[in-house]
Structure 1
Amino acid sequence: MKVKSGEYISEKGKCYGALRNLSIYRKLLVMVIISTISLIAVAVISYFYTHRIAGSSESMYNDRL
C-alpha cells in the first residue's frame, strides 16, 4: 500500500478515525457526553437494584421473625 508523506496509518488508532478530524474542544465534549450518559446509566441501574435488594431483605427479615 502506498502512503503519501504526512499520512498516518496505524492499526491501533483505527477506531478513533471519527474523532481524528475534530477539534480538541469537540473531542472533549464527546467524551464528557459519553461519560455523563454512562454515569446516568450506572446510577439508574444501581437505584433499581438497591430497591430490589431492600425489598428482598425486608421480606427475609419478616420471614425469620
Structure 2
Amino acid sequence: MQAIDLTSMTWRKSSYSNSDGGACLEVSDDVPSLVPVRDSKDPALGALVFSAFAWAEFVESVKGR
C-alpha cells in the first residue's frame, strides 16, 4: 500500500456540519478511488482512508438516521 500525501489535498465538510465548530469530519475528493476522512478539529492526526465503494456504502447506510 502506498502512502498518500494529505498535505496538498482539498478538504470539505458536510453541508450538515454546524457553524459552532463541533464534531465535524472532512473528506477529500482528490483521489479518484479513495476517500480520505479526517477530524476537522485536529487534521494533524492524519486521516482514515476508505475505498470509494466502502465510503458510498457507509453514507447510504447512515442517510436518514
TM-score normalised per structure 1: 0.32
For the pair shown, which has the larger CA radius of gyration, 1 or 2?
1
Greater RCO, 1 or 2 (C-alpha within 8 Å, sep 6+): 2
More strand by share: 2
State the TM-score, normalizing by the size of structure 2: 0.32
